[in-house]
Amino acid sequence: MISLAEASFILLGLAIAAVWWPVACRFGTLAVPAWSLIFTGACASALAADIVSFPALGGLGLLALACLASQRQERGVAFAASWLAGILALLLALHAWPGFRALPIVEGWQASPDARPFTLRAGFDKATAGLFLLAFFARRVESRRELGQLIARILPLTALIVLTTLGGAWLSGFVRPDFKWPDFGWQFIAINLLFTCIAEETFFRSLIQEKLHRLCTARPWARPLPILLPALLFGAVHLSGGLLYASLAGLAGLGYALIYARTRRIEAAVIAHFSVNLVHFTGFTYPGLAH
């Protein structure tokens, strides 16, 4: 039987997926996107399950208000609100806002005797940050046909990103081939795709890279910045795993930035990011060799 805590994350995942479902529920003259109603149910369930507290809901409310204000016509208001939304999303993604409790899935799992212990948890804070950035800031595909064309277009570059990143990890001794499919494999896929990849890519591509792109397009000397700076930042946020891990993350981040620059669609970066993570999880030591 599904617990209230598990139900809250299932609803949160459905809310994220529903951002691509262009359906609005009407209450008189007010049109409310379907994802927001599902998210409201997720918050109610999470509050009842003690996954979030009232201070946590306050942070989520501030993020929602900042995202809404970022859509205003007044340029100054929209600019300030975008910065506020970015700061709040970063605090949530770093688990720095109080009142959230992660849902543990696996604690101290070792894929092999020489692998580092791995812990998998679902975080309501980071996932919600990704949801709001996806809904308000991300440039998304608008049809299934466009998505199919996008996937066909990015397949070669995605394969190159996977080969380069994991090939570098293997050659550097960070991982070795280790094929596996643990009992929690499907949970890993759902959490990694919906709660990790989308949250990270919407932040780095939709907030940082996209805004840098708009600022630097008219300055030829600055055009590499929207690709290089997000890649460096992406590597830097992984420094807690060591310099080698951060370097490999930066290499992967460079690939995600390139694929986004080529398509200007968030799905491209998410697919590339998830492909690297999935191949790493199923085909190599995860998260890395213990030594």
The answer on pLDDT for 222 being more than 80 is no
pLDDT digits (tens, 9 = 90+) for 279-290: 999 999 999 999
Q: Residue 230 and residue 246: Cα distance in Å, rounded? A: 13
- Predicted local distance difference test score (pLDDT) of residue 32: 87
pLDDT band with cut points at 50, 70 and 90 for residue 1: confident
What rounded mean pLDDT belongs to the chain? 94
Q: How many CB atoms lie within 10 A of CB 133?
A: 27
Query: Dihedral (C-alpha) 77, 78, 82, 85: value to the nearest 10 degrees?
Result: 60
- Predicted local distance difference test score (pLDDT) of residue 100: 98
pLDDT digits (tens, 9 = 90+) for 228-250: 999 999 999 999 889 999 999 99
pTM equals 0.95
Question: Which whole number is the average pLDDT over 149-173?
Answer: 97
The answer on pLDDT for 75 being more than 90 is no
pLDDT band with cut points at 50, 70 and 90 for residue 96: very high
- Predicted local distance difference test score (pLDDT) of residue 27: 76
Percent of all residues in the chain with a pLDDT value above 90, rounded to a whole number = 85
The answer on pLDDT for 28 being more than 80 is no
pLDDT band with cut points at 50, 70 and 90 for residue 26: confident
Among the ranges given (41-50, 72-81, 266-275), the one the predictor scored with the smallest mean pLDDT: 72-81
Q: Name which of 287, 104, 291, 290 is nearest 180 in CA terms.
A: 287
The answer on pLDDT for 169 being more than 90 is yes
